Amino acid sequence: MTDTTPATPLTIALPKGRLQEQVQELFRRKGIEFSFENRKLVALDKSGGFQFFLVKNSDLPTYVNHGIAGLGFCGEDVLYEHGGSFIRLSDFPFGGTSMCIAGKKGGSFEHHGGTVTVATKFTSFTRDYFHKEGLPVEIIKLNGSVELAPVLGLAPYIVDLVETGTTLKANNLEVYQKLSDIKVYLIANPAYYKLYYRQINAFTQKILASTADR
């Protein structure tokens, strides 16, 4: 397929979970209907114009980076950690969250010139943030249940995504500081975009047609 003679569908990676449901609902409203049947991870929409791959959130940039999926819906947090170069075609109002530093309730984020110890899944973001602030940081990489770190004494602070704060509250933690807003983006592999820019631009316009979806 080239920009003038489309012959195969645009390939789009979707992250498993709530974001997938939100994206699928957006597509349904725009007349792009598909479903992943019988636990299959690949689906074609009814028009045959789009092929969807259901992938683990953190693997999504890898699929797009290799051009296996030309496009993908992905949170800024995951993109940052991957570090690849992607074209960000648009952001969306759904799926947004915040990257925050948190710790035990009643405390605060304090630094007195020494190294800050932080437990997090987001090691690149955390390192870059603290270095930008001019603070040395020791990072303890965790893969989940990050809230346990301050509770059990692994680290006084965590850097994590906070949406409602319910999990923090349940573990007697609180947000000390919001570090960044995190948005959901439609991304493209740059080479894929160069080949199919006409179809991709038309697709982007279609899903952004109503301002309510921006």
Partner 1 sequence: MSRKKRLLQIPQGAEGIYLEEALKHKMVIRRIEDLYVRWGYLPIETPVFDFFDTYRPYIPADQLDKIYRLMDREGDLLMLRSDVTLFLCKQMGLALNGSDLPLRVFYGDTILRHQNFEDISKNEFFQMGAELIGVPGTDGDLEVLCLAVELLESLGIQWKLHLGSSAILAPLFSSLQTDNVQELHQAVLVRDFSTMKTLLTEGGVPDATAEVMKDLCSFIGTPREFEQFTAGINQSFYAGDIYNELARLKNLLAALDRVTDTANIRVDLSELGSQTYHTGMVFQGYTPGIDSAFLSGGRYDRLLDDFGFDACAAGFSFLLRKIEGMLPHNERPCAISAKGNSFEERLGNAKVLRAQGKTVHL
Binding site for partner 1 (CB under 8 A): 1-3, 62, 65-67, 85-88, 189-195, 197
CB 32 within 8 A of CB 47: yes
Q: Which two tokens stand for residue 124?
A: 């690149």
- Tell me how far, at minimum, the Cβ of 82 lies from partner 1, in Å: 9
**Which of 76/147 has CB closer to partner 1?**
76
- Tell me how far, at minimum, the Cβ of 16 lies from partner 1, in Å: 20
**Which of 42/191 has CB closer to partner 1?**
191
Which segments within 9-162 are labelled E, that is strand?
10-15, 42-44, 50-55, 71-75, 87-104, 116-120, 137-141, 157-162
**Which of 92/192 has CB closer to partner 1?**
192
Cα separation, 100 vs 147, whole angstroms:
12
CB 162 within 8 A of CB 97: yes
- Largest Cα separation within the chain, whole Å, is 62
- Tell me how far, at minimum, the Cβ of 197 lies from partner 1, in Å: 5
- Tell me how far, at minimum, the Cβ of 85 lies from partner 1, in Å: 5
- Tell me how far, at minimum, the Cβ of 140 lies from partner 1, in Å: 23
**Which of 46/88 has CB closer to partner 1?**
88
**Which of 6/156 has CB closer to partner 1?**
6
Helices (H) then strands (E): counts for the chain: 7, 9
Cα separation, 24 vs 76, whole angstroms:
19
Q: Which two tokens stand for residue 108?
A: 């605060």
